[in-house]
Homo-oligomer: A and B are copies of this chain.
Amino acid sequence: MNSFVYNIPTKVYFGENQLDNLGKELSQFGKRVLLTYGGGSIKKIGLYDKVIAEIQKAGLEVFELSGIEPNPRVDSVREGAKICKEKNIDVLLAVGGGSTIDATKFMAAGAFVEHDVWDFFNEKQAPINKALPIVTILTLSATGSEMDAGGVISNLETKDKYGRVDSHLLPKVSFLDPTNTFTVSPYQTACGTADMLSHIFEVYFNMNQDLYMLDCFMEGLIKTIIKYAPIAMKEPDNYEARANLMWVSSWAINGFINGGKRQAWSCHPMEHELSAIYDITHGLGLAILTPRWMKYCLSENTVSKYVQFATNVFGIDKNQSDMAIAQQGIEKIEEFLFKTLGLKSTFEQVGIKKEDFPHMAKKACKGGVLPGFIPLQQEDIEKIFKMCM
């Protein structure tokens, strides 16, 4: 069992009617706020006006950067970092989903460097020694960026999509109001759900012994997702469902579930290659990959973890062979992703082509081995991609 450091100081205002704390929280960092958001849905739901009102009430000066894309682009990060420098920004306020928050994190880091922000991601791996403070208001339950220290940025020129984690990027304060997710479409709810599930699976499916209490917690998170995602899709303004999904999104990835596990992730790096080239929704790509990856990794060596999963999460009858139990667990997840959530189930359906498999697979494992639940080489990844056709 490995040792670990637990350190998640993000303060979270959870629930309705907490926005009157926004001005106070922003003010502790200074007077000049850069407000970042995406395509303008925050205006439609009235959140933009509320945020501006609170900022003005606190006597702060606000600058804006809108139009941050899904699978956020390095160009947006460049623009944000430039504004931070030119306008002497004190604090960034990201209002949106994971894309807006991810991009904002690297603007906050970019404010302190002279080099191009893409150097945080490419082979240079430029150090992040400092970042402006970040406050977030979440509008989509999925990536967990509101309470973690990482983000993923795409470069359309180079067709690269890379993640980076650094403790300086952890939001100082996040506002999680489930009503801000009431207008999230059933499709986006489903994609966000697949993303959360994958965050948990990347840690849960692991053969290194770790804390049982964390396995129990992860099983609880998965059960919560399975219970509430279909409700949120059918009743978009069901507060209970939205609240559970929202708090799960944060705890699926904030680091608590890791404990002493050091395992690298598998499905996320594979999926990043899909959305780098095809710009598909991250959660959709994960949904297609996940059950195939589970099937591919199943063996006599790994079956015990699947048995734990299938019996504890789905209550599969224990009086069967381990392999039979494991397979039923995988079937249950397939059923959930493709029937209950109604997500597309094959690469064909989303237009991903066979000819891209070799170089996507090569990039996913960086030409060597993708470590994880089981180590995957290029040929393994290609096989998993083929299973997705």
Q: What residues of chain A have their CB less than 8 Å away from a CB belonging to chain B?
A: 1-9, 11-18, 209, 211-214, 216-217, 219-221, 223-224, 227-228, 239-240, 243-244, 247-248, 251, 259-260
Contacts and interface: CB of A to CB of B under 8 A. Distances in A.
Contact of A260 (B14, B17, B223, B260): B14
> Which of A7, A17, A213, A248 neighbours the largest number of chain B CB atoms within 10 Å of its CB?
A213
A355 to B, nearest CB: 43
A64 to B, nearest CB: 27
Given A216-B220, A217-B220, A6 B11 contact: yes
A17 B1 contact: no
A227 B9 CA distance: 30
Given A216-B223, A223-B216, A224-B216, A243 B211 contact: yes
Contacts of A7: 11-12
Contact of A14 (B5, B12, B15, B239): B5
Given A3-B18, A9-B9, A212-B224, 8 more contacts: A3-B14, A4-B14, A6-B12, A9-B11, A14-B259, A216-B224, A219-B220, A220-B220
Copy number in the complex reads 2
Contacts of A220: 213, 216-217, 219-220
A310 to B, nearest CB: 16
B212 A1 contact: no
Contacts of A219: 216, 220
A320 B216 CA distance: 26
A248 B213 contact: yes
A9 B8 CA distance: 6
A327 to B, nearest CB: 23
B213 A221 contact: yes
A136 B11 CA distance: 22
10 contacts: A3-B15, A3-B17, A5-B11, A7-B11, A9-B11, A15-B260, A211-B244, A212-B227, A212-B240, A216-B219
A209 B241 CA distance: 12
A1 B221 contact: no
B240 A1 contact: yes
Contact of A4 (B15, B228, B239): B15
Given A209-B240, A221-B213, A5 B1 contact: no
Contacts of A244: 211-213
A350 to B, nearest CB: 30
A239 B3 contact: no
Nearest to A225: B213
